[in-house]
Structure 1
Amino acid sequence: MANQDKIVLPEKYYLDNFKYVLNFVIGKYEGLLSPSEINFVKNFLSLSEDAQCLYVRISNRKGQFFRKEKLSYAEISDLDLALRELKSFDFVVKKEGLEIDECYQLLAVYNKPEIVRLINPLEYEVDKSLKKDELILSLLETVDSIDLLETFYNESIITQAVKEELNMVKLFFFGHNHGDMSDFVIRDIGHARFMEIDESQLGTSFESREEAEAVMQLSQLNKEYYLLEETLSPLSIYDWFSQIEIGYFLSLDKAKSRAEKLLYKVGYHLERNKHYDEALEVYHLSSSSPLRERRIRIYNKQKEFKKSLELAHHILDSPNDNKEYYIAQDVINKLDKKLKTTTIRQKEGMVIPVKHSYLHQVEDGALAYFESLGFRGYHSENSICRNVFGLFFWDEIFDPKHNSLHQPLQRSPSDIYEKDFYKKRKEAIKQKLELTKNKNQLVNVLKKSVQSFTNISNPFVHWDDDMIEGMWKFLSYVKLKQIKSLLAEMAIDPKNRSTGFPDLFVWKEKEYSFYEVKSPNDHLSEKQLFWLERFDEWGIHAEIALVSWV
C-alpha cells in the first residue's frame, strides 16, 4: 500500500476502543457483573484522560509488571501524575507478597546484565553464565524470596491491579478467554472486515454469571495444567485433576467443550506415559470425540479386544464424527483380518511420475504433471468446497436470531463448530436447498454474496482470487444435484465436514477431476476417505494420485 493510502489511527484510538468495550459490557451484562467489576468500570471512567490512557497502555502489554523508566507515551502529558492517580484508585499497586510465577514475571522485566548486577551483592552461589530464563529459575530455587523482592521489587516497578475484573469484563465482551483488543486495530486499519450487525440484534455471550465464572475457572485450570505438566509426574497430575469437579463443568453448555479439552489433555498425558488405567478413567468421563477413540486405542494396547469391539460397534451406531466412524470400522476390520479402510482406498490410487526436484513441494509436482498432460488446475484443498458453502449459506450462518453473534468483532458465530449449528438452522438450510431449482439460481446466490460481502470475515470463505475463480470453474462442471448433496452434507457438521477435501482440482475441455496427492510416505486420513467416498456416491470425479519420484 502506498504511504498516502495508509490509515492513520487517532492518537488515543486505544482509549476509545477500551471505553467502547466497558460501555458495551455495562449496557448488556450489568446484571451479571460483580460489585467489584462494576466499580472497576465506574472508577475507570472517573479517571482523568491521562490516567485512563496509562492504564490501557499497561493493560494492553504482556504481563503485570512494568518498569516505569521503560514507559514513554507522547500522548500522556504527565506520566508521574497519571501514575499517582492510578495508585490512588488502586489501578496499580505494590503487592505484599508474590506467587512463584509472579516472581518469575517480575525478574523477567530485567535483562540479564541487570539481573547479574543486582544479585552480585547477595551472598548466594548462582551460575551467572546461565541463559536468562535458566538464571531466573535458578534464582527462584536458591535465593530467599524476601531477598528477591527487596532486590527486584523496587519503586520503579509498576504492578497492574484489578486484572481479574478486567479479564472478566473482556470475557463478557469477547465471549471467550483469548479475546484481544488488537482486533479493533486489525479492523480499523483495514486488515480485516467483520459483518456489520445492528447492535440491538446482538445476543449475549453468557446467560448466567455461573457460566462465565466456569469458563474463567477452566481457563485458569488449563494454565495451571501446562505449568504442572513441566514439573509434576503424570500420576501427580492425575491426583490434581481428581480434585477438580469436572462433572460440574461438563454440565454447563458454555463450559462443556472447554472441560472436554482439559479432559483430553490430562488423559492423553497419562496415556502417553503408559498409565493406561488412569487415562481410561479420565476418558470415561465424556463420550465426546476424540475420547472414545483414545479408549479404543488403549483397549487394543491392553489386548482387551472384546471391549474394543463393543465400543467400536457402539460408535458405528452413533458416531461423533467421520474420523471416529472410520477408526471404529477399522477395529472391526482388523479383528476380521481385513486391511484398514484408508489403506484399501489408497491402494486403488493412480501412480503418477513426479520429478524429484519437487520432493518438498509434492502438490506442486503433481500439478505440474497434470499440466504436462494439458490440464489446468488449482490447489483446491478445502477452499473451493468451503467457499461454495460459506457463500451459499451466508445469511444462515450469520443469522442473528440464533444468539451466536455477541459483539461487533466476531469473525464467525460462536456456535459455528458446535452440534447446535445445524439443529438451529436445519429448516432454513433445507428450505434454501429445496427452493434452489437450477444451477443459475445457485450461482446467483453466490454472486450476490460475493458482491455484498467481499473480504468480510467468514470462517469458510477464502477471499483469494484464484480460489474464487477455482470455485466458478468447479461449478461449471458439476451438476446441481451434486452441489446440493455436498452443501447438505457439510451443513450437518461444519466442524468435521469442512476439511479433508482433495488437494487439487484440474480440468481440460469437458474433463475434470479432484486429486488427493500422496507421496510414498504419506497416508490417507479418515476425513479424506470420507469425502472420496461421498464424491463417489454423488458422481463427482475424485481420485488418489500416488507420487512416484523420477
Structure 2
Amino acid sequence: MIAHSVDDPLYYLHNFRQVLLWVEQRYADLLDPHELAFMQAFAGLDAPAQALMVRMVMRKGELFRSDRLEYTEIGDTCSALQSLEALGWVREPEQLSLEQLFALLRKDELASGFAGLLSRPRAAKSDLLSQLQALAPAPRPLSEWFAQAPVRIVQWCLQPLCDRMRLLFFGNLYQDWSEFVLADLGLLRFEQVPFSPGSRALQQRSEVDLALALHQCAERLEQGERPGSIVQALAGWHSDNPWLARRHGRLLFALGQQCERLGEWDLALAVYAQSSHAQARIRQVRVLERSERWQQAHALAVQLAEAPANPLEVQALQRVLPRLVRKLGGPAQPRRRARPAPVIELELPREHAALGVEEAVRQHLAQAGGEVHYVENTLFNSLFGLLCWDAIFAPVPGAFFNPFQAAPQDLHDCDFQARRAAQFDACLGRLDDGTHHQAILDRYAAKQGLQSPFVFWPMLSDALLTQALACLPAAHLKHCFLRLLQDIRNNRAGMPDLIQFWPEQGLYRMVEVKGPGDRLQDNQLRWLEFCAEHGLPVAVCHVRWSEAA
C-alpha cells in the first residue's frame, strides 16, 4: 500500500481507492451485497465522478450547495454530479428544516427570500433564524421554501456506508479520511505487521453493527445528551468480543464522568460498577465520598486497599482513606510518607535561566564529571520499545487494522500485556540472560525511523545508547519495564529529567529538576517512590537563581 503525495491533486482519490481495496480484501465476508455493489459501481465511474464523491465523503455533513462543489482538479463537476445522481448516491433532499437551510444559505439569500416574514431583515444571521423559528415552520422541500431557489442543494446519501468502510479500515470513527492522507505521504514509515483473518478485531457483521452503535452512543454523549438516556440505550448490551468489550468499558467510564459532573451520583455508581476501565473502581469511592456517603465510601476503599489494581489506585487510596476516617469521627491517620529521595540544592547564576532550568543543571552537573543527558521520559521508554519491539507489534486480534498504525489500538487497555504474555516474557527474558544489549542494538539498527509508541528516534544516538547499556543494570531495566507494562498510560510519564552516566565505573544517576516555585507532580512522586523501593539511584535537584552582585 503506497500513499500518494499531495503534489498529485487527486491524492485523496488514490488513497480512498486503497481503502476500498484493503477493506474488500480483508473483510469481504462482512460486507453485504449493497456494499459490494457500491464498490463495483464506484470502480466503474470515471475519475471526475469518483473524485467528487470522495470530496463529499471527506467533507462535513451530507448536504451541499452545488456551487460549493467546484474543484479545479475535477473539472466539469456538473457532469460528475450527474453520474452520481444516476446511481442514486446523490439527490435533491426531500425536505429541509429551517436550521438546515440557514446552515447552507448566505445571510443575503435568506434576507431576500424571507423578506416578507422578517421584522428586522438587517439583523445578524442568528437573529434572522430566531425570528423565523418563532413561526415554527415545518420542514419542506427547497422549492416550497423559495419560489426561486438561489442555489441548488444536493444530498450525499451513502455516508453510513462509507462510515462502515472507515471503521473497518481505521478501527474507529474518530479518525477521518484526511488523517489517513496526512499520515501516508511517505514521510512516515510504519512497521509491517502481518495481517491474517485471525488477527481481525471483528469477525462477524453483527460485531460491526455493535461497534457502530457504541460510536453513536459516544457521539450522543459528546453532543451533550443526558447520560441517562444513553445508559438506557446500552441496557442489556453484551458481546464476547474482547475488542468491543474494552470499548464498551471506556464508554461507560466516560458516562460515569459526565454523571459526576451533573451530580447524578447513583447513576454514576451504577455505570462505574459495570465499567472495566482501570480507574472505575477508585471513581466509585470518590462518588460515594462526594455524595457524603462516608460509611459506604470507607468500606469500599478498605476493600480496594486489600488488593489495589495499580499504583495510581494505591496513591489515590492513601489520600482518600485518612479523609474518610476523619469524616467518620475517627482519629487522625498518620499518612504514609514516601521515602525521601536525596536532594541537591543548587544556586546558579541568574543569566543561566535563559538556558532553561534543565539545561542549566545539565551543564552544571557535566562540569563535575560524567556524561549528562536530558532524557525525561524518552530513554527508558525507548529502551523498552526496542527490546520489546516484537511483543508490541505482535498481530494479536484487534491490535492493527491497517498498515499505517504507529501503535496497537489496545496499547492503553488493562490487558495489553496479558494478551501478549508469551512475547513479553521472551523479550524481558533477555534481561535475565544478558542478551538484551545485542537485542536492543539490533532493533536500533533494523527499525531505524519506523513509527513506534515508545521509541523517540530523534533523541537516541549511538553514544547515548552505548552509555545507557554500559551503565544501566539489567535488573533496574526490568523493574522499570515491568512498571511500564502495569499501566502504560500513566507510567510512561513522570520519569526524571536528567540522567548522568559514569561509563568507566558503570554507574548512573537520575536527576529530577525543579526550578523556583515548581513542585513534584503525582506521577513524578510515584516514580521517585518506585526508584527508592527498587534501589534505582535518583536525586531531586532544587534550583534557585542567584542575584547579580
TMscore range, shorter length: 0.7 to 0.9
Query: Is 1:245 aligned to 2:238, yes or no?
Result: no
SS in 2 for 1:544: strand
Moved more, 539-548 or 511-520: 511-520
User: 2:385 aligns to what?
Assistant: 390
| Partner of residue 494 from structure 2, selected from 468, 492, 500 | 500
AA aligned opposite 1:490: L
Could you tell me which of 41, 44, 47 is aligned with 2:42?
Answer: 44
Task: Give 1:389 deviation, angstroms.
Answer: 0.9
Asked if the contact 1:354–1:549 (Cα under 8 Å) also holds between the matched residues in 2, the reply is yes
Among 280, 287, 294, which residue is 1:298 paired with? Answer: 287
Larger % of helix: which? 1
CA-to-partner distance for each residue in 1:473-508, whole Å, 9 max, x for gaps? 443322122112222332344344323322333457
Aligned counterpart, 1:179: 175
Q: Is the 8 A contact 1:355 1:365 kept in 2?
A: no
> Are 2:189 and 1:193 equivalent residues in the alignment?
yes
Q: How does 1:11-30 map to 2 (within 5 A)?
A: 11-30=9-28
Distance 1:357 1:435, change over 3 A: closer
Q: Deviations over 1:214-268 (max 9, x none)?
A: 2211211222223235xxxxxxx24423422244157653333333333333332
Contact 2:253/2:272, CA 8 A, preserved across alignment: yes
Give the Å deviation of 1:423.
Answer: 1.6
Whether the aligned pair in 1 keeps the contact of 2:23 and 2:168 (CA below 8 Å) is yes
Q: CA deviation at 1:206?
A: 0.8
Asked whether the equivalents of residues 350 and 544 of structure 1 are also in contact (C-alpha less than 8 Å), the reply is yes
Cross-structure match for 1:234: none
In structure 2, relative to structure 1, the CA distance for the partners of 1:399 and 1:352 (3 Å cut) is same
Instruction: Check if 1:417 corresponds to 2:412.
Output: yes
Query: What SS does structure 2 have at the residue aligned with 1:177?
Result: coil
**What is the CA distance between 1:308 and its match in structure 2?**
2.2
Q: 1:9 to 1:367 in 2, by over 3 A?
A: closer
Given the superposition, is the C-alpha separation of residues 329 and 353 from structure 1 closer, same or farther in structure 2, using an over 3 Å criterion?
Answer: same
> Counterparts of 2:524 and 2:238 in 1: how far apart (Å)?
33
Q: Within 5 Å, give how 1:327-366 maps onto structure 2.
A: 327-334=316-323, 335=325, 337-338=332-333, 344=338, 350-353=344-347, 364-366=356-358
For 1:8 and 1:169, the matched residues in 2 are separated by 23
Cα deviation, 1:6-57, whole Å, max 9, x if unaligned, reads 9664443322222222122222222222343233223222322221111012
Query: Is 1:451 matched up with 2:445?
Result: yes
**For the structure 1 residues 221 and 125, does the alpha-carbon distance in structure 2 shift closer, same or farther, using more than 3 Å as the test?**
farther
Asked whether the 8 Å contact 2:394–2:420 carries over to 1, the reply is no
Which amino acid is the alignment partner of residue 172 of structure 1?
Answer: L
* Distance change >3 Å, CA 171–CA 503, structure 1 → 2: same
Instruction: Assess, with a 3 A threshold, how the Cα gap between structure 1 residues 69 and 138 changes in structure 2: closer, same or farther.
Output: same
Q: Check whether the contact 2:249–2:276 (CA below 8 A) recurs between aligned residues.
A: no
Distance 2:345 2:334 in 1: 20
1:271 corresponds in structure 2 to: 260
* Conservation of the 8 A alpha-carbon contact between 2:513 and 2:542: yes
Letter in 2 for 1:407: N
Output the amino acid matched with 2:72. Answer: A
TM-score (norm 1): 0.83
Deviates more, 1:417-426 or 1:198-207: 198-207
Match of 1:538 among 520, 534, 537: 534
Distance across 2 between alignment mates of 1:470 and 1:522: 28
Residue matched to 1:224: 220
Distance verdict in 2 for CA 1:389–1:58, change over 3 Å: same
Partner of 1:320: 309
3-state SS of 1:55 partner? helix
In structure 2, the residue corresponding to 1:158 is in which secondary structure? strand
| Letter of the structure 2 residue corresponding to residue 56 of structure 1 | V
Residue in 2 that maps onto 1:432? 427
State the Cα RMSD in Å: 3.6
- Structure 1 gap segments, 5+ residues each: 1-5, 230-236
- TM-fit CA distance, 1:295: 1.9
Tell me which amino acid in the other structure corresponds to 1:260: G
Deviates more, 1:237-246 or 1:145-154: 145-154
Asked if the contact 1:422/1:493 (under 8 Å) is kept, the reply is no
Which residue of 1 is the match for residue 297 of structure 2? 308
Aligned CA distance change for structure 1 residues 354 and 307 (closer, same or farther; 3 Å): farther
Is contact 1:107–1:136 with CA below 8 Å preserved after alignment?
no
SS in 2 for 1:516: strand
2: CA distance, partners of 1:254 / 1:208: 13
Which AA in structure 1 matches 2:315? Y
AA aligned opposite 1:448: D
- Which residue of structure 2 aligns with residue 56 of structure 1? 54
CA distance in 2, matches of 1:339, 1:549: 36
